[in-house]
Amino acid sequence: MLEAYQFVSRHPEMLAKWAVDHLWISLVAIGIGAVLGITLGVFITAKGREPMAEVVLYFAEIMMTVPSLAFFGLLMLLLSHIGLSAIGFLPAVITLILYGQLPILRNTCTAIRQVDPALIEAGRGMGMSQRQLLFKIKLPLALPVIMAGLRNAMVLIIGITAIAALIGAGGLGVPIFRGLRNARMDLIIIGGVSVSILALLVDGLMAMLERWITPRGLRG
Amino acid sequence: MIRLERVTKIYSDGTEAVREVSLEVERGELCVLLGPSGCGKTTTMKIINRLICATSGKIYIDGMENTSINENELRRNIGYAIQDIGLFPHMTVGENIGTVPALKGWPKARRRKRAKELLELLRMNPVDFIDKYPRELSGGQRQRVGVARALGGDPPILLMDEPFGAIDPITRVDLQNEFLKIQQELQKTIIFVTHDIYEAIKMGDKIALMKEGRIVQYAPPADLLYRPRDEFVAGFVGADRGLKGLQLIRTKEVMWRSPPTTKPDEEVMAARERMEREGIDWLAVVDDEGRFTGWVLSSHLEEGRKVKDIMSTSAITATRNAVLSEALSLMLTSGPNVLAIVDRSNRLEGVLTLQAIQNALREAAQKEESQ
Ligand SMILES: Nc1ncnc2c1ncn2[C@@H]1O[C@H](COP(=O)(O)OP(=O)(O)OP(=O)(O)O)[C@@H](O)[C@H]1O
Ligand SMILES: [Mg+2]
């Protein structure tokens, strides 16, 4: 414990670099993942696409059960096969995006399906197009639940990003794995505790954001 | 204005919700669709604005077939109040009312102005309500906003599905009266769904009574009451036709228009003389501005005093547009066999006597016998 503290006070710039890398990878992954997941979620929730929704959600669930390490490995093979960088940032972000899909997709679907049919009928009856229904009624009403899904995904992603250090993506996994290799307890503690703190912080921030973007008329 | 020609709707599960319905509603007319639950009222209405697609038959709006118009365009010009109100919870009252104007591309300031106008029309103070959210409103207020929203884009046609459904009877009567007054001014072409026979008689220029997807009788309320076409209609209208007939008559039609009045400072002697001269046992007391304040009854007269010492103050009043059945129940709670009819600022416009109601009842009964 003491060693960990000493290390941090001697090399604060190293910890800062790991943390910033970690956050950056996670943010890119959640950003792209959110756009992808919400768009896909909206798409598969449309009328008549129920079977497609089932299939997509099923795959997202399966994805969650594959150990992330195994998936990193698979992806490295695939990427090098098509001549892309097989280590570092790219494979890490791709994996993280995929792991974040389940909570985002699931919440998007549930939230949109939960919108009171009477409201949709009112909107249709007043002459809203499908697009206007989506942007003026369904999405605003679904927003708090979608946001909760993003929060789940973000916490999940911050955790898995630690493993991404194994494929050379950097982040707070770096001290953890270095500590494991060299039997340096202090490094393991620094990495582990930092990941937890980061996850808690981001979760708290996103909880605030969630409250903030909830339409005023829906706040209890 | 609206014409349905042999419209039929069979749902995909085989339910025949509407069968060969033909109906014509003139411009400025309020047509009530009346009938028991499940008889096809909502379905008929939704076929008109194409929320539901008819299995067969044709609908003409202003001579144009409704399927020839872009469906969103069509709906923006037909005000629609759905059965469950359906206010958007994430929008303010003003934004809700401005829904169709927004779809029509009106600028924000104009939408807000329109919302204010409509709130005023429905007797809700715009300053208090325009920025509130639906969850902050009472049931009656929500229904008002629902109606205001249907009127938002100033459509020539309104479809209203039980617009006063989920509220207490007193608020309901208020809303009905206000709506009738608004309609007198706006002259919209309206299809109004209800399963309440009293509401139908009161609101409708014509009533289409439906049963199992068919229209059994389409006629003015008086005809439905006094010339029912068959057993079903007679049964639906019920036995107490005389009382229901009171729904057809408004106080202004039978009230005593400049009734004898007195002022609080008048001597009781003078009041007594006026009563004797008119042959009545009451006088309405009004203040200097003509506002109704109460009654002097002959049983209370005492010599040598002023009217204000013996009068009984009363706040029970009705408006000139109240129907007789409402006036009668108010009269029964007010005590004396008279009811003050006042305008919005409580100025006395007339007096309704029990005698006048009895006469109206008698006439109604005669109509029934002469059928
Ligand atoms: N989407 C649907 N699919 C199948 N049947 C339906 C559908 N909507 C309505 N029905 C049936 O069609 C019939 C007419 O329904 P409709 O909603 O028009 O009745 P209503 O007169 O408005 O009744 P209420 O007074 O209860 O509102 C009912 O038997 C109903 O169960
Ligand atoms: Mg209905």
Classified as helix, coil or strand, B50 is coil
Residue B175, sorted as left (phi over 0), alpha (psi -120 to 50) or beta, turns out to be: alpha
- For residue B370, being part of any structural domain is answered with no
CB B361 within 8 A of CB B246: yes
| Residue from B90, B92, B100 to probe the interface with A (highest A Cβ count within 10 Å) | B90
C-alpha A160 – ligand 2 centre gap (Å): 53
Dihedral angle over CA of B228, B233, B238, B241, nearest 10 = -20
* Cβ B266 vs Cβ B310: under 8 Å: no
CATH value at residue A198: 1.10.3720.10
Residue A15 counted as domain residue: yes
Which atom of ligand 1 is nearest to B39's Cα? Answer: 21
Cβ count near A175 (within 10 Å):
26
Q: Is the dihedral of CA B293, B298, B304, B309 positive or negative?
A: negative
- How far is ligand 1, taken at its centre, from the CA of residue B195, in Å? 13
Q: Which of B177, B164, B178, B190 is nearest to B123 (CA)?
A: B178
- Which of B9, B10, B15, B191 gets mutated to test ligand 1 (max ligand atoms within 8 A of its CB)? B15
Tell me how many domains chain A contains.
1
What three-state secondary structure class fits B192? strand
In a domain, B323, yes or no: yes
Interface test with B, best of A114, A116, A124, A126 (most B CBs within 10 A): A126
Residue B171 domain-assigned?
yes
Q: pLDDT at position A42, please?
A: 93
Give the mutation target among B11, B32, B51 for probing the ligand 1 site: most ligand atoms within 8 A of CB. Answer: B11
Tokens for B304, please give them: 């040598």
User: In angstroms, rounded to a whole number, what is the distance separating the alpha carbons of residues B295 and B286?
Assistant: 9
Mean pLDDT of chain A: 90
Q: How much is the pLDDT for B368?
A: 65
Q: Which ligand 1 atom sits nearest the alpha carbon of residue B15?
A: 5
Quick check: A137 contacting B, CB < 8 Å? Answer: yes
User: Looking at the domain assignment, is residue B240 inside a domain?
Assistant: yes
- Token digits for B205? 């220029």
Cβ–Cβ contact A123 with B under 8 A: yes
Closest residue in A to B99 (Cα) is A126
Q: Which residue of A has its CA nearest to B91?
A: A217
CATH code at B40?
Answer: 3.40.50.300
Phi, psi values for residue B51, rounded to 5°:
-65, -25
* Residues linked to residue B8 through DSSP beta bridges, in sequence order: B56
Question: Both tokens of residue B330?
Answer: 């108010």
Same domain as B128, residue B84: yes
Q: Specify the number of domains making up chain B.
A: 2
- Is there a single domain that holds both residue B87 and residue B53? yes
Question: What's the 3-state SS for B131-165?
Answer: CCCHHHCCHHHHHHHHHHHHHCCCCCEEEEECCCC
Structural domain ending residue among the three candidates B245, B269, B295 = B245
- Ligand 1 pocket, residue B13 CB under 6 Å: yes
pLDDT of residue A72: 82
Per-residue pLDDT of chain A (220 residues; tens, 9 = 90+): 778 888 888 888 889 999 999 999 999 999 999 999 999 999 999 888 889 888 999 998 888 888 888 888 888 888 888 887 778 888 889 999 999 999 999 999 999 999 999 999 999 999 999 999 999 999 999 999 999 999 999 999 999 999 888 888 889 999 999 999 988 888 999 999 999 999 999 999 999 998 898 888 888 6
**Residues B240, B268 share a domain:** no
Ligand 2 centroid from CA B46, angstroms: 10
CA trace torsion A62, A66, A72, A75 (10° rounding): -40
CA-based radius of gyration for chain B:
24
- Angle (CA) A104-B89-B183 rounded to 5° is 145
Same domain, residue pair B204 and B236: yes
- Based on the fold, state whether residues B36 and B140 are members of the same structural domain: yes
Residue A122 touches chain B, beta carbons under 8 Å:
yes
Tens of pLDDT, residues B46-79:
999 999 999 999 999 998 998 899 999 999 999 9
User: Same structural domain for residues B199 and B256?
Assistant: no
Beta-carbon pairs below 8 A across chains A and B:
67
Cβ–Cβ under 8 Å, residues B87 and B149 = yes
Whole-model pTM over 0.95: no
Whether B72 sits inside 8 A of A127 (CB atoms) is: yes
> Residue B48 has what pLDDT?
94
- Ligand 1 pocket member B40 (CB < 6 A): yes
Of the candidates B272, B304, B291, the one whose C-alpha atom is nearest the C-alpha of residue B345 is B291
- The answer to whether residue A131 sits within a structural domain is yes
In a domain, A170, yes or no: yes
Predicted local confidence at residue B370, as pLDDT: 65
- For chain B, list residues whose CB is within 8 angstroms of any CB belonging to chain A: 46, 49, 51, 71-76, 80, 82-92, 99-100, 103, 133-135, 149, 159
B291 found inside a domain: yes
- A115 within 8 A of A106, measured Cβ to Cβ: no
Domain-terminating residue out of B245, B263, B296:
B245
Distances (CA, A) of B72 to B20, B75, B101, B266: 26, 5, 13, 65
CB spacing of A121 vs B134 below 8 angstroms: no
Indicate which residue's Cα is closest to atom 1 of ligand 1.
B11
Ligand 2 centre to CA of B212 (Å) is 13
Last residue of a domain, one of B245, B279, B306: B245
State the residue range of the domain holding B138. Answer: 2-245
Contact A126 B90 (CB under 8 A): no
User: Is A37 contained in some domain?
Assistant: yes
Residue A220 belongs to some domain of the structure: no
Of B76, B80, B86, the CB nearest to A118: B86
Residue ranges with strand state E in B199-346: 206-211, 214-219, 261-262, 282-286, 292-297, 312-313, 317-318, 338-342
A129 neighbourhood in chain B, CB within 8 Å: 72
Query: Does B368 map to a domain?
Result: no
- The SS3 of residue B36 is coil
In a domain, A165, yes or no: yes
B226/B272 same-domain check: no
**B284 and B201 fall within a common domain:** no
- Domain holding A115, by residue range, is 2-215
The answer to whether residue A172 sits within a structural domain is yes
- Report pLDDT digits (tens) over A27-71: 999 999 999 999 999 999 988 888 988 899 999 888 888 888 888
Burial of residue A174, with CB atoms counted within 10 A of its CB: 0-12 exposed, 13-18 middle, 19 or more buried:
buried
Over chain B (371 residues), the average pLDDT of each successive run of 10 is 94 93 94 92 94 93 90 93 92 96 95 95 92 93 94 94 84 86 91 90 93 93 86 81 80 89 88 87 90 87 80 86 86 82 90 87 72 56
B139 to chain A, minimum CA–CA distance in Å? 16
B90 and A128 within 8 Å at the Cβ level: the answer is no
